[in-house]
Amino acid sequence: MTIGSLPPVLPPKLPRFVGLADDERGRRFRFRLWQVSLTALVVGVTGWFVTLGPVSAILALMVAKHVLVAILVMDLGVDAPRQT
């Protein structure tokens, strides 16, 4: 072989096609995990406020009720966009 006659360079073979599942299971699982974590956090913080006294307990329970209802409503899909 001489310098002027190099073999042609071919592109590499294409990789094998890998099908990735793009379903809602992973997304729903992360959302449920986020909901459970947030609920546990709200309950824990509320419990801590209850130990501080009656006034803080009443205020914490009022706020916690609204936050927990908001988490429940998100799970029910009330805020989801309408599918036509």
82 in a structural domain:
no
How far apart (Å, rounded) are the C-alpha atoms in residues 66 and 43?
12
Which residues span the domain enclosing 36?
26-76
64 in a structural domain:
yes
Ramachandran class of 77: left when φ > 0, alpha when ψ lies in -120 to 50, beta otherwise:
left
Are the C-beta atoms of residues 62 and 68 closer than 8 Å to each other? no
66 in a structural domain:
yes
For residue 38, the model assigns a pLDDT of: 95
13 in a structural domain:
no
7 in a structural domain:
no
Pick from 35, 21, 43: which is nearest to 77 by CA? Answer: 35
What's the pTM?
Answer: 0.65
62 in a structural domain:
yes
Q: How many domains does the chain have?
A: 1
The CA-based angle 75-76-79, given to 5 degrees, is 90
pLDDT tens for each residue of the chain, 84 residues long: 556 676 777 788 877 776 666 667 778 888 899 999 999 999 999 999 999 999 999 999 999 999 999 999 888 877 777 776
41 in a structural domain:
yes
